[in-house]
C-alpha cells in the first residue's frame, strides 16, 4: 500500500510523498465539487441479535485488513426513516468512533442494499466514479489507519476517540488521473484474491494438522508411516 499510494505502479520520481505526475487534494474539496458526499450513521441504541428489523453495521464489522465481516450482525427496530442511512453498493464505511487504536478503520461495502450504519460510523459515497475510484479511496483511507494517522488527529473522549467529518475532509489525498486510480484498484483486488486464497489454504492446513495430531496421539497413525511432502 505504501508503494502504491506514493510511487504508483511504475516507481516514478517523487515530490514530497507522491509522484511528480500526481496532484494532491483535500478530501473536502472533492465534496465541494460534488464528487463525494458524507453521511453519518443512524443513532439508534435499541438493537437485537435475533435478526428482527434492519441489520446495522457496527465498528467491529470492519476488520484490521479493511474488509467487511458479517459473521456477527446486530439489528434495529425503529419507526424513524432510515433511507439516508442505508448503505449502497461501493459505499465506503469509515469507523469514526472507537478506541484510539481502532478509530479510522475503513472498508468498501459490496454486500448489497438493506443495511444501515451505527452512528459510530460514516458513509463516504462516490457521486462521480469518473473522478475517483471507490476501491482506491477506501484502501487509501484504511492505509492511513495502518500509518497511525487517525490516532494523531482524533479527538479523545473517556475510553473512546473520534474523527469528525470535518477532520476527515481536511485530509490530503493523492489524486492521480482516474485511469491510474483504476490500475491501482485492480492491483489491490488482485492482492486481495491472493490473500484470500492463502488464508483459505492456511485454514485447511490447520484443520489437517489437528486431524493428524489426533490420529498420532491416539495411535491411529504411526510416525514411521507419515509421508512428509
| 205 found inside a domain | no
Report CA torsion sign: 19, 23, 28, 34: negative
| Residue 142 buriedness (CB in 10 A; 0-12 / 13-18 / 19+) | buried
Q: Which residue has the cell 491472493?
A: 194
| 172 found inside a domain | yes
| 181 found inside a domain | no
Number of Cβ within a 10 Å radius of residue 3: 9
DSSP assigned state of 148 = T
What is the model's pLDDT at position 27?
96
Rounded Cα–Cα distance for residues 188 and 67 (Å): 12
**Grid cell for residue 196:** 484470500
Q: How far is CA 135 from the centre of its chain?
A: 9
Rounded Cα–Cα distance for residues 19 and 11 (Å): 8
What is the model's pLDDT at position 22?
84
- The answer to whether the beta carbons of residues 130 and 88 sit under 8 Å apart is no
| 229 found inside a domain | no
What is the model's pLDDT at position 229?
57
What is the model's pLDDT at position 111?
92
Number of Cβ within a 10 Å radius of residue 4: 19
How do 172-175 and 74-76 pair as beta strands?
unpaired
As a whole number of angstroms, the longest Cα–Cα distance in the chain is 71
| 204 found inside a domain | no
Walk along the chain (229 residues) and give the pLDDT tens digit of each residue: 888 887 777 766 556 666 667 889 999 999 999 999 999 998 876 888 888 899 999 999 999 999 999 999 999 988 888 888 999 999 999 999 999 999 999 999 999 888 999 999 999 999 999 999 999 999 999 999 999 999 999 999 888 999 999 999 999 999 999 999 999 999 998 988 888 889 889 989 999 888 888 888 888 777 676 666 5
Rounded Cα–Cα distance for residues 78 and 161 (Å): 27
| 41 found inside a domain | yes
Range of the domain at 137: 2-176
Rounded Cα–Cα distance for residues 100 and 162 (Å): 8
Rounded Cα–Cα distance for residues 81 and 87 (Å): 14
> Taking each helix axis from N to C terminus, what angle separates 178-217 and 134-146, rounded to the nearest 10 degrees?
60
| 215 found inside a domain | no
Specify the CATH number for the domain of residue 39.
Answer: 3.90.220.20
For the chain, the domain total comes to: 1
| 201 found inside a domain | no
Amino acid at each position: 500500500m505504501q508503494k502504491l499510494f506514493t510511487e504508483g505502479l511504475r516507481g516514478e520520481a517523487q515530490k514530497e510523498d507522491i509522484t511528480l505526475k500526481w496532484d494532491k487534494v483535500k478530501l473536502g474539496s472533492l465534496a465541494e465539487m460534488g464528487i463525494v458526499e458524507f453521511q453519518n450513521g443512524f443513532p439508534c441504541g435499541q438493537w437485537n441479535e435475533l435478526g428482527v428489523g434492519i441489520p446495522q453495521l457496527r465498528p467491529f464489522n470492519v476488520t484490521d485488513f479493511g474488509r467487511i465481516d458479517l459473521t456477527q450482525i446486530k439489528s434495529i427496530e425503529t419507526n424513524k426513516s432510515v433511507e439516508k442511512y442505508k448503505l449502497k453498493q461501493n459505499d465506503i464505511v469509515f469507523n469514526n468512533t472507537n478506541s484510539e487504536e481502532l478509530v479510522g478503520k475503513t472498508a468498501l461495502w459490496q454486500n448489497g442494499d438493506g443495511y444501515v450504519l451505527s452512528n459510530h460510523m460514516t458513509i463516504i459515497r462516490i457521486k462521480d466514479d469518473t473522478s475517483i475510484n471507490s476501491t482506491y479511496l477506501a484502501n487509501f483511507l484504511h492505509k492511513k489507519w495502518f500509518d497511525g494517522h487517525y490516532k494523531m488527529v482524533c479527538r479523545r473522549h473517556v475510553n473512546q476517540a473520534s474523527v469528525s467529518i470535518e477532520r476527515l475532509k481536511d485530509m490530503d489525498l493523492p489524486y492521480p488521473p482516474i485511469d491510474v486510480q483504476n490500475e491501482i484498484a485492480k492491483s489491490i483486488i488482485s492482492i486481495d484474491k491472493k490473500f484470500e486464497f492463502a488464508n483459505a489454504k492456511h485454514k485447511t492446513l490447520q484443520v489437517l494438522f489437528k486431524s493428524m495430531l489426533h490420529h498420532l496421539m491416539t495411535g491411529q497413525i504411526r510416525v514411521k508411516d507419515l509421508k512428509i511432502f
